[in-house]
Amino acid sequence: MKLKKQVTVCGAAIFCVAVFSLYLMLDRVQHDPARHQSGGNFPRSQISVLQNRIEQLEQLLEENHEIISHIKDSVLELTAHADGQPAPPRRDNGSWTLPPESRPSFLAVSPQDCQFALGAKGESPDLQMLAVYSLLPFDNQDGGVWKQGFDITYEPSEWDAEPLQVFVVPHSHNDPGWIKTFDKYYYDQTQHILNSMVLKMQEDPRRRFIWSEISFFSKWWDNISAQKRAAVRRLVGNGQLEMVTGGWVMPDEANSHYFAMIDQLIEGHQWLEKNIGVTPRSGWAVDPFGYSSTMPYLLKRSNLTGMVIQRVHYAIKKHFAASQNLEFMWRQTWDPDSSTDIFCHMMPFYSYDVPHTCGPDPKICCQFDFKRLPGGRINCPWKVPPRAITEANVAERAQLLLDQYRKKSKLYRSKVLLVPLGDDFRYDKPQEWDAQFLNYQRIFDFLNAQPQLHVQAQFGTLSDYFDALYKKAGIVPGMRPPGFPVLSGDFFSYADREDHYWTGYYTSRPFYKSLDRVLEAHLRGAELLFSLALAHARRAGADSHYPLSDYSLLSSARRNLGLFQHHDAITGTAKEAVVVDYGVRLLHSLTNLKRVIINAAHYLVLGDKDTYRYDPATLFLSADDTRLNQDSLPERTVVKLDASPRFLVVFNPLEQERLSLVPLLVNSPHVRVLSENGQPLPAQLSAHWSSATDAMPDTYQLSILARLPALGLRVLQLQKSFDGHSTLQSSVRLYLHGRDVTVRQQEAVPVQVFPAAPDDFCLESQHLRSCFSGSSGLLQSLRCAGEEREQRVSTEFFIYGTRTSKDKSGAYLFLPDGEAKPYTPKDPPIVRVTEGPLFSEVSSYYQHVQTVVRLYNVPGVEGLSLDVSCLVDIRDHVNKELAMRFSTNIESDDTFFTDLNGFQIQPRRYQQKLPLQANFYPMPAMAYIQDTQSRLTLHTAQALGVSSLGSGQLEVILDRRLMQDDNRGLGQGLKDNKRTCNRFRLLLERRSSASKSSSFFSKLASVLKALGFPGSRTGSPEVQDGRPVSFPSLLSHLTSMHLNAEALVLPVAQQPALPALRSFAPLSTTLPCDFHILNLRTLQAEDDSLPSAEAALILHRKGFDCSLEAKNLGFNCTTSQGQLALGSLFQGLELNSLQPTSLTLMYPLGTASNSTNIQLNPMEIATFRIRLG
């Protein structure tokens, strides 16, 4: 203990000296008169002096960082062997306080790691989407035959020197669920499309076809003969059939989370590699409703070189067409060079169907969709039918089509033209194959035989088109063609005509958007634990006892989660029966994943692994909760206490140690909680409420404060105890607001009942003070510890109606009848205030929404933000949408920030020139507003639509109930609403540039600014070299992870003789806190129902903003400039091999070396093929 004190004091002294010397150095640099000459036009000699000083400064910063790291390591080493369990809270002057942390907390961030968010010098993009939006008039002028465009003219001689090269690409868009379920589509249509494809493609080697949805393809593959499989491999091998993108589905890009986007891509690519031996080269996404810049990054890192997109706002298409910018290199906003560039082709017209793909005039193009020949089931709405091509009419028909091809070609920079030929579920009958391929081939033969026309037309795959374009440009695939623009940003929000913005689907069916994320968290947790348990079992030679059959449950869950990323699934835009089918699949996999987690946890916590026996009939651990049906909310397991102790295993799926409140239901208030070695743990007892005023009999909530190892399992024990000091009691105040209701309470948890509403009141923890309205029970203000002023954060609910005209809101579209009106329930709310030492909360019960705002009085991440949940039930509403709005004093002007797929942040601007619905954006993980003083972040556990409709506001749509179809093909409204729980975290952060106490950091910022880095930020989008970019803080990243990866509480089943249990901590070192283990995914063996000895380790290094204050955070956090020693990461396991690969493991990157040290740049995701043992 004495040594520990000496080291700490000595370390602190060194730290102070280092910081003070750095401060003086900064002071000298800042006040050097040479810096203030003629506005920064220094003489050359003074520049070199400044450069020397900057180099000294950098060296000093580095030394300072090393000193801090050494101190941190010394102190952590000394304290590592202490239990480190927080002492119980004590009562001071009527309020609860927690004793100081038993372990020191560090925030040691390398200065170099802060420079990424400040922006590096790089080439500015030619097209920045935020700037494009500001530039466009959005006037929707009538363009003639191309209604949303303009007249296109050309001179026939334009192709004399360089002929037009046309690639007609036959395709069939197969939705894995929409109007019919996945299986119904397969049996009715998809299997016939693929069967005909094999036959018809073999009839003529000039025929081509592309396919993208591997979910369908794999189901078909499982049902065809070896002979047919060989034919498919031949078609792929000779370039007639191309697999494009190669994901399990064509995912939605608005609501999907990057874990699931990557997972479905890996699932598809691994299937293709194993069964056909092919690696996709080109991306094809013609139907998602808007496009995220995350997707081009994932495709680029999977080694794809080109991609096609279609559903982009018609005004942007017109603008890009007019300037020949429909093809571009798509670059990430945060990319300082061109390493993320991928070539992207944007289709110019309204749709991907045949009438809108051959050229600007749909009336003419429809005449070349030979499925619509007279006598068929579909015809041309323009009243001019197609005509079969004969020798007599081929010259006239070919000339008419060529005119369209030439006009379309004028919108692009190259003389190579892409013409898709297909639509939804096309080519399902042999007659259609004949009609399209024979008639087009006659046209091609005629055109190619007329040298004076200067055209070469043929069937092609997507890669045929891209290869020809690259060849014409004289470059290798993946390089930037000379003269083509660079674009950064995204393509939300989408409108296909008029003011019809597809912003409703950001929230549609939020129950399933939430279930999606619950399944995702369980899949990641199950992958990690299964891989670790299997590696440990193999090392111990016990893998013959381990249930390897769990691997097929994992594989099935990957596929069900992947299926739900489809752009009619997670979007909430499928028919009701199809939604139920998705729900059943999700719930089935959720139940199976709990089983995988339980089996792995069972093995890993056994003190003596030799005693492990797997019994499928009686599981060693019970699940933390159960769901009765696919549309039920979870019901938590109640742990029954008796004379013998009950044990719990708590799983922390985060790669960082966490100090968390672990919630649990027990059947007795007489309980105490002990660690595995018998140390008492703080726990708060509170009532469990079935309604606003009914406490459940014989059920109590126990909230245990426990430190959980990173990716580990903590063993806790519960004992029945009649000692009144075993648990910390909560007190409850119930305000009935004049309502005549009966209150049912329990003796163990005293409740004070007040018939009237209270005055405004506040709750306080060691980190936060939050104040609430007495009349509404809703949050009004927030203040962080150490701050002088309150930040107004008033919460209100609003209702949007829909239009009275023929076009109304539906599953896709948000067409409100004007601004939202305040929500006015018929009864005032019942407000319940619970106060206790570890958490306090305010529950407000309204007719359609119940909100709970909770403060955690614990050190670290959990206590630094407010936990907000909304239980929404609008099943009695008609054409209404419920929104929650936060209003603050933050001077954010017209700017706000939303995430893309939980991967990156995209600055947004409220556009006054656009209708209200155009200003909503997807929020899969977070949105924030900020000014020079503060940033307020709303973190979410499910994707929802968000906007900032006024300065200082953040608004999120919680649910929508709409009684009619919105004419986009679904044929139904949204009437199948469920009781849905939406979960959030509200984080208020102070910007360090606004704090007088952080003059050291201000000086650092000013020096960096003088060196050409941008300075302090305001609410407006941060623009660096023309790239708007913003990043969450490290605390914000960790808050999001805590919300999305909750600890799982697994009670040990009651049994006569319990084996010895031991907590499991898999990591031997602390991971840098900007690293995230996205997945540790065991790869399949030759028999795809069994695991191989290899796993995919997928790491993501997060980009973060250092300008947000990080004082007294109460948790350890260090960064390492992206360096990580993987060889020593896993305790008790050896890293036998390490091979860096492309994102989806299709390509090795470099040679496998003996070194296990890796380096990752900020924002990058990297995959490694590893073997643990």
Q: How far apart are CA 20 and CA 33, in angstroms?
A: 22
Residue 69, burial from CB neighbour count under 10 angstroms (0-12, 13-18, 19+): middle
User: CA 412, 417, 418: angle at the middle one, nearest 5?
Assistant: 110
Q: Is the pTM of this model over 0.85?
A: yes
Residue 55: per-residue pLDDT: 54
Spatial distance between the Cα atoms of 289 and 404, rounded to a whole number of angstroms: 26
Buried (b) or exposed (e) across 728-753, using 16+ Cβ within 10 A? bbbebbbbbbeeeeeeebbebbebee
Range list of H helices, 32-146 = 44-80, 111-118, 129-135
Q: What is the pLDDT of residue 1131?
A: 96
CA–CA separation, 440 vs 373, rounded Å? 13
Q: What is the pLDDT of residue 1134?
A: 96
Q: Give every CB contact of residue 41 below 8 A, 6+ residues apart in sequence.
A: none
For 533, 666, 690, 731, 746, the CA distances from 750, given in Å and listed in that order, are: 45, 17, 17, 6, 7
Q: Does residue 936 contact residue 928 with C-beta atoms inside 8 Å?
A: yes
Q: How is residue 947 written in tokens?
A: 């906007």
- 712 backbone dihedrals φ, ψ, rounded to 5°: -115, -175
Q: pLDDT means per 10 residues in the chain (1173 residues)?
A: 47 49 46 39 49 54 50 41 56 52 69 84 88 95 98 97 98 98 98 98 98 98 98 98 98 98 98 97 98 98 98 98 98 94 98 98 98 95 98 98 98 98 98 98 98 98 98 95 97 98 98 98 98 96 93 98 98 98 98 98 96 92 96 97 94 96 96 94 96 95 97 97 83 95 91 93 96 97 91 98 96 98 96 97 98 96 96 98 98 98 98 98 98 97 98 98 98 98 97 51 42 43 67 96 97 89 96 97 95 98 91 80 95 96 96 85 97 94
Residue 112: Cβ-neighbour burial (10 angstroms; 0-12, 13-18, 19+): middle
1080 vs 600: CA distance, rounded Å: 14
Q: Return the pLDDT at 713.
A: 98
CB neighbour class for 818 (10 Å; exposed up to 12, middle 13-18, buried from 19): exposed
User: Do strands 731-735 and 751-754 pair parallel, antiparallel, or not at all (unpaired)?
Assistant: parallel
Distances (CA, A) of 630 to 301, 516, 585, 626, 638: 36, 12, 8, 11, 21
Among the listed residues 287, 490, 581, 931, the single catalytic one is 287
pLDDT at 554: 98
| C-beta contacts of 1054-1061 below 8 A and 24+ residues apart | 1054/640, 1054/646, 1058/647, 1059/606, 1059/607, 1059/608, 1059/611, 1060/606, 1060/607, 1060/608, 1061/605, 1061/606, 1061/607, 1061/647, 1061/649, 1061/676, 1061/715
CA distances from 63 to 11, 807, 1074 (A): 14, 65, 21
655 closest CA partner among 972, 1075, 937: 1075
Location of structure tokens 């800042």 = 30
Cβ neighbours of residue 247 under 8 Å, at least 6 residues apart? 212, 213, 214, 264, 265, 267, 268, 269, 562
| Of 839, 712, 846, nearest in space to 778 by CA | 846
Tokens, residue 489:
């940003």
Assigned token pair, 1131: 């305790």
Closest C-alpha to 512, from 999, 991, 177: 177
C-alpha–C-alpha distance, residues 764 and 129, integer Å: 43
The yes-or-no answer on residue 445 being catalytic is no
C-beta neighbour count of 723 within 10 angstroms: 8
- Give the CA-trace dihedral at 369, 370, 372, 373, to 10 degrees: 140
Question: Residue 699 phi/psi, 5° resolution?
Answer: -140, 125
* Dihedral (Cα; 294, 298, 301, 304), 10-degree rounding: -110
**In terms of Cα–Cα distance, which of 1102, 1096, 1097, 1101 is closest to 1129?**
1097
